[in-house]
Amino acid sequence: MVSGLLLHYVGLSDMLFVCCNKMMFVPRKSNCMKLFRSSSPAWPPTWTFDAGVYIWRVLFSNAGEILGEARDPEKKETWFFCLEEATGTLLWRDLRHPEAWWTGIEAIEGGRFFLHGFRKPDMPQHLGIRAHDLHSGTLLWSSEEYTFLLAQGDDVYASREKFSGLEFYRLSAVDGGVTEELGQDTSRINDLRQQQNEEDFFRGYRYPDPLSDAHPHADAARSALDGIVDPAQVAGNLDVLVEAPLLFAAWHIAEERPENGRPSLKQEFLALNTDSGKTLFRGPILTGADAPGMDSFFIKDHQLIYIHERCAIHAHDLNGAAS
């Protein structure tokens, strides 16, 4: 069961609060600026998808699909979309919950995905389950009685509040019918959750770490970035991921002329081939941020993925980038 991969940055770093710690290293003077050749992007995205509104969350099915949640804060509207992971081909978009704003994704499992509503708009408790076919977006069944807990194979485990307390149920993922009443015993639910936590859902994912003495490639990264990144101008962390011979880095700096007249940040992204000395990509991926974000990019299998300007997914193919 894929319970979800939340991009902590999700293109909305101005909505996140992160303490602005300085980087934990002192750069050495060197001629690295001469070693890395600056150029226009030599490594364009393999595919992109522009939602036109904020991409709030993306989940990977681990079977070749990306499920996304898009939100328009001004109109208070939410809609969902699905892409082919390898090519970015749009399978469907503009799927909407009956509740325009107060909804979200629960999980992907067995070629289906599950949406939830909320008990009340001002309360965090989820309520209601809507099951959809992942490949087409077609609604399979819905229930307003139950709260989703987890899915496993063709089973959905859910709860319902009664006067006597919280009752648990096993539902059919095919049609939503009750297949077993579990009473108030939480042990089975806890065992299933523990089993899912022990499974390796995130095999193939690699994430950046803040550049510090604890970074596994601290010395090599500092040497490569010396003369390229000025630590005195960095707000928050300098996030680095090394996939030798490739090095990826992202950091925030103050914008010179913010459009709204208020102090704001932009996030720079850099991709280097440390063997050839070639700059594969360098440029801003976010402007107008109120605070530094985190985990703004990651690698899954052979693709580097990030959110560009809050609204677009960009994917770069690692194959060939190291040559």
Per-residue pLDDT of the chain (323 residues), as tens digits, is 554 444 433 333 333 222 222 222 222 233 333 333 444 467 999 999 999 999 999 999 999 999 999 999 999 999 999 999 999 999 999 999 999 999 999 999 999 999 999 998 878 899 999 999 999 999 999 999 999 999 999 999 999 998 888 999 999 999 999 999 999 989 999 999 999 888 877 778 999 999 999 999 999 999 999 999 999 999 999 999 999 999 999 999 998 765 666 789 999 999 999 999 899 999 999 998 988 887 789 999 999 999 999 999 999 999 978 77
Q: Which residues, 6 or more positions from 99, have their beta carbon under 8 angstroms from its beta carbon?
A: 117, 118
**Burial (CB count <10 Å: 0-12, 13-18, 19+), residue 165:** exposed
Which residues, listed in sequence order, are joined to residue 142 by a DSSP beta bridge? 130
pTM of the model: 0.85
User: How far are the Cα atoms of 64, 75, 78, 274 from residue 280, in angstroms, in the given order?
Assistant: 26, 38, 35, 10
Domain ranges of the chain: 52-198, 205-317
Q: Within 13 Å and on the Cβ side, how many CA atoms surround 308?
A: 18
Q: Which residues, 6 or more positions from 121, have their beta carbon under 8 angstroms from its beta carbon?
A: 101, 102
Q: What is the CATH number of domain 52-198?
A: 2.40.128.630
Bridge pairing between strands 246-254 and 90-95:
unpaired
Q: Which among 295, 310, 300, 311 has a CA at the least distance from the CA of 46? A: 300
